[in-house]
Copies of this chain bind each other. A is one copy, B any other.
Amino acid sequence: MLSGMIDRVEQAKALASDVRLLILGWLKDPAAHFSHQVTGDPAEIGVCVTLLTAKLGMSQPTVSRHLEILRRAGFLRVRKIGRWSFFARDEAALSDYKDWLRDTL
Contact = CB atoms under 8 A, between A and B. Distances in A.
Given A24-B105, A102-B98, A9 B17 contact: yes
A13 interface: yes
A21 interface: yes
A15 interface: yes
Majority DSSP secondary structure for residues of A touching B: helix
Interface residues of A, number: 19
A44 interface: no
Interface of A: 8-10, 12-13, 15-18, 21, 24-25, 94, 97-98, 101-102, 104-105
27 contacts: A8-B15, A8-B21, A9-B16, A9-B17, A9-B18, A9-B21, A10-B16, A12-B12, A12-B13, A12-B15, A12-B16, A12-B17, A13-B13, A13-B16, A15-B101, A15-B105, A16-B16, A21-B104, A24-B105, A94-B105, A97-B105, A98-B98, A98-B101, A98-B102, A98-B105, A101-B101, A102-B102
